[in-house]
Structure 1
Amino acid sequence: MKLMIRADDLGYSRGVNYGIYDSVKQGVINNVGVMVNMPDTQHGVNLLKDLDVCFGQHTNICVGKPLSDPSKIPSLVQENGEFKPSSAYRNATEDFVDLDEVILEIEAQYERYKQLMGKEPEYFEGHAVVSDNFLKGLEIVAKRHGLKYFGFAFDDKPIIVNDNQVFIHMEAMDASYDPFAMIKRIAENPSENAFDLVVFHPGYLDANILEKSSLTIPRTQEVKLATSDRLVKYMQTHDIKLYTFDDL
């Protein structure tokens, strides 16, 4: 089967950075999404920059501060100048994101990504927010710069990237989450003529992540699995091959 494993949230916190580093250096992760607007982004990039990783822009509009002028993107920010949290999007009855404003911020994050990494993102997607205008903005900016855009999946439908079908699997918010059991289920029923993408958020827990994120314990479970001999042996015995976004 064609398996991709992506680690999101590099830069979220130092604990997350170290968890992703271990998951790459000692584990099976080879795709990493960078949150370019966070205080710990440079720390994370410094940890991973010399490793063989496919890096992407994990565009973020719900944690931390924007890179564009807050006064120019009022639909995205709170009175303190920080992004509106993900709960604001979950509780909204209509899309409050202004398309022109979100494009301004997406462009700012794209420019920061190039400054940080010294190259274009190898893929381009968004973090934890379902907003039609956010998705439109991502697609517009990706098309403008010729980037490999990876959208959101709905109703178990695949995402199409360069004529490749990609099925997304992410179960970390489930109460009984077991990352190894998830991968076993995928391996037992792989998608035909398609890629299966497992989205992980590996990390260790620190004060920042505990204060800002609702996703905590599963991050540590994913580090444990990604760095385990158990997973490597399972992949070998079941002929599971790992791919990156460069293969799409």
Structure 2
Amino acid sequence: MKLMIRADDLGYSRGVNYGIYDSVKHGVINNVGVMVNMPDTQHGVNLLKDLNVCFGQHTNICVGKPLSDPSKIPSLVQENGEFKPSSAYRNATEDFVDLDEVILEIEAQYERYKQLMGKEPEYFEGHAVASDNFLKGLEIVAKRHGLKYFGFAFDDKPIIVNDNKVFIHMEAMDANYEPFAMIKRIVENPSKDGYDLVVFHPGYLDANILEQSSLTIPRTQEVKLATSDRLVKYMQIHDIKLYTFDDL
């Protein structure tokens, strides 16, 4: 089978950064998405800069401060100049994101990514927000700069990247989540004509993540699994090779 495992949210907090670092250095993670607008982004990049990782831009419009002028992107920000939270998107009855404004912020994050990493993102996608205009903006910017865009999938449909089908698996928000059980189900029922992508959010819990994110305990579970002998042995038994976005 063709299995990929991606870690999102590098930069979210120092606890998340250390969890992702351990999941790469001492575990199986080889794709990492960078949130470039966060105060702890440089810390995370410094931790992973010498490791063999496929890095992507994990574009974020719902946590922290924007990189563009808040006065120019009013549809995205609160009165304090910080992004509207993810709850605002979940509770909205219509898409309040202005396309031109979100493109401005996506471009700003793209430029910051290149400054931080010294290269183009190896893949390009977004921190989950229910907004058609956000997705449209990501696709426009990716096409403008020739980037490998990776969108969202709904109803178990695959995402097509360079004519490759990619089936996304992310269950961390589900009740009674058990990451090894998810991996086992995927391996026992692999996609026959594409890649299976497992999206992890590994991390340790600190004050910042507890204050800003609804995803907490599963982050620690994913670090534990990603760095475990149990997973390594299971993958060896089933002769599983892990792919990166460079393979798409």
Structure 1 and Structure 2 fold alike (TM over 0.5): yes
Structure 2: gaps (5+ residues): none
Deviations, residues 93-115 of structure 1 (Å, cap 9, x unaligned): 00000000000000000000000
Cα offset, 1:223, TM superposition: 0.1
Cα offset, 1:130, TM superposition: 1.4
SS at match of 2:134: helix
Regions of 4+ moved over 3 Å: none
Distance 1:236 1:163 in 2: 29
Deviations, residues 130-171 of structure 1 (Å, cap 9, x unaligned): 100000000000000000000000110000000100000000
> Under a length normalisation based on structure 1, what TM-score does the superposition of the two structures give?
1.00
In structure 2, the partner of 1:214 is 214
Structure 1: gaps (5+ residues): none
Distance 1:128 1:3 in 2: 21
Deviations, residues 81-128 of structure 1 (Å, cap 9, x unaligned): 000000000000000000000000000000000000000000000002
Distance 1:171 1:56 in 2: 21
Distance 1:159 1:239 in 2: 25
Distance 1:26 1:52 in 2: 12
Cα offset, 1:175, TM superposition: 1.1
Give the count of matched residue pairs.
248
Superposed counterparts of 1:175-186, under 5 Å: 175-186=175-186
SS at match of 1:8: strand
> Under a length normalisation based on structure 2, what TM-score does the superposition of the two structures give?
1.00
Cα offset, 1:12, TM superposition: 0.1
Deviations, residues 12-51 of structure 1 (Å, cap 9, x unaligned): 0000000000000000000000000000000000000110
SS at match of 2:50: coil
Distance 2:101 2:46 in 1: 30
Cα offset, 1:247, TM superposition: 0.1
Cα offset, 1:193, TM superposition: 2.0
